[in-house]
Amino acid sequence: MELYITGLPSAYEVEHVARLFFPAAHLAPQSPETGDRLLAKEEEGNAAVSLTWQGTTLEGTAPAGESPSFALSSLVYDLARQATGIRPSWGKMTGVRPVRLIHDNRRRGMGEEAIRSLFCDHYDCTAEKFQLARSIADLQGPIIARSGPRDYSLYVGIPFCPSRCSYCSFVSRTTGKDGKLTGPYVDKLCLELEAFRDQAHKNGLNLRTIYMGGGTPTSITAPQLRQLMGKIRELFDLSQVEEYTVEAGRPDCTDREKLEVLKEYGATRISINPQTFSDQVLENIGRKHTARDILDCFAAARQAGHTNINMDLIAGLPGDTVEGFAWSLETAIALDPENITVHTLTLKRASNLVIEKQAAADAGVAAMLERCSLLADAGYRPYYLYRQKGTLQNLENTGWSKPGYEGLYNIYIMEEVHSILSAGAGGSTKLVDQASGRIQRIFNYKYPQEYLEGFQEILRRKEGVSDFYGKNLD
């Protein structure tokens, strides 16, 4: 399917909607005259679309109105749905934060029926997905209400892993190849955290949560982990922190010693991420461990005293089946972790699955997510949700938790409740002014070597925190 879109400053939204139905569609440099094609244009206040697919052509026009991009996207959606018989479960919604749409409209005074109509009528979202989003918004409401204008969360990035999973697009380097960088990297990261502490103190900011992610934080050595977490404990008053999460995601680098370091230095929540409990699927995605290793790692974490554990699973991995995914869910539930997060496989351009063109068909992924009813039956509740570009069937990632164990950082970052100060390679600090809704970002260099070489510039950029709060809150 070739796409030719004209008349808009950006074709992104129209292109994204077209790919809900035709995932392999690509932009054409000029208007194609043969084959499967979609021609969309906005001109003189009118939207017009011509869709040719499997030898049949459908055409439509509509007033462009106040939002030409949405008018054209909506017309593309209607014709593509008619042509293919496909109804995406999130309808025309292209944003990553559908739950925030509910929060924002409630703050503006929109009634519940009007919000339902916005989702189900305006965007053609299914009733099931709207109810999922609304139940999450209801649960999040009291948590979000606790966050003040000078609250913030701290993200600490460790961009190293034992090996690279085939679906991964994160900024991450393998310890086998770039392990020599981990020592200098941790040294600089400690200095960056000092700079963030100084900025937070200068602007009267209150630290609410800490999240150490990656990569895989436990891929660094136990002494390096002790150095880093010791510095965090020295710089920040952990007694005032609501939640301190560390991703201990992979059993091939998370041993008993590191689990004890995490507990000793203040982590209150960890994440052990099997992705699947199938040895074959683990091999398919490039993992160098077995399902048995995951079970042993979980048991070791409990023995080390960890009482709040999350486990990630991914629906749609190569070689997995609906029955296999359900078995992974059942296995995770049997372990009785406090959180289980279910991701839908997302195909990013930087992942090996896309680069090597080995992505499996997404047939069955919706049925896999339907098996999440097993989580509800076991007493878990959905507490946060987000979507990504490139996710199979445009579906969602959902965090489930036992009551009282909601991952607060996940809520704060996804609903953009308060500022997130992000340290480390690839870090993206997001400064939030609740009153105006203004958001400003400060970026770090992307890769570990760049981070080390450009560290003085990274420190200089920290002054942007004071500039933001000086202009917007003081």
Mean per-residue pLDDT, 198-226: 94
pLDDT at 75 over 80: yes
What whole-number distance in Å separates Cα of residue 31 and Cα of residue 24?
A: 18
Per-domain boundaries in the chain: 2-84, 98-144, 146-461
pLDDT digits (tens, 9 = 90+) for 381-440: 999 999 987 788 888 999 999 999 999 999 999 999 999 999 999 999 999 998 888 999
At 410, the amino acid letter reads: N
pLDDT reported for residue 52: 96
pLDDT digits (tens, 9 = 90+) for 171-192: 655 666 666 899 999 999 999 9
Mean per-residue pLDDT, 241-259: 92
Residue 285 contacts residue 316 (beta carbons within 8 Å): no
Tell me how far the alpha carbon of residue 160 is from its chain's centroid. Answer: 18
Q: To the nearest whole percent, how much of the chain has pLDDT over 70?
A: 93
Calculate the alpha carbon distances from 438 to 108, 435, 442, 471 in Å.
Answer: 16, 8, 14, 11
pLDDT at 349 over 50: no
Specify the 3-state DSSP secondary structure of 381: strand
- Strand-strand pairing, 243-247 and 269-271: parallel
At 359, the amino acid letter reads: A
pLDDT reported for residue 95: 84
pLDDT at 356 over 60: no
Mean per-residue pLDDT, 288-301: 94
pLDDT digits (tens, 9 = 90+) for 29-42: 999 999 999 999 99
Residue 462 contacts residue 456 (beta carbons within 8 Å): no
Calculate the alpha carbon distances from 275 to 333, 381, 444 in Å.
Answer: 13, 19, 29
pLDDT digits (tens, 9 = 90+) for 126-176: 999 999 999 999 999 999 999 999 999 999 999 987 665 555 555 655 666
pLDDT at 253 over 90: no
- For the entire predicted model, the pTM comes to 0.90
Q: Does domain 2-84 match CATH 3.30.160?
A: yes
Structure tokens at 177: 């190849």
Residue 248 contacts residue 285 (beta carbons within 8 Å): no
pLDDT at 359 over 70: no
Q: How confident is the model at residue 11 (pLDDT cuts 50, 70, 90)?
A: confident
Q: How confident is the model at residue 354 (pLDDT cuts 50, 70, 90)?
A: very low
Q: Report the CATH fold assignment for 146-461.
A: pyruvate-formate lyase- activating enzyme (3.80.30)
Q: To the nearest whole percent, how much of the chain has pLDDT over 90?
A: 78
What whole-number distance in Å separates Cα of residue 105 and Cα of residue 116?
A: 11
Residue 371 contacts residue 341 (beta carbons within 8 Å): no
Tell me how far the alpha carbon of residue 319 is from its chain's centroid. Answer: 23
What is the overall mean pLDDT for the chain? 91
Residue 347 contacts residue 360 (beta carbons within 8 Å): no
- What is the secondary structure of 173-186 as a DSSP string? EEHHHHGGGHHHHH
Residue 274 contacts residue 291 (beta carbons within 8 Å): yes
Mean per-residue pLDDT, 289-296: 93
Mean per-residue pLDDT, 455-470: 95
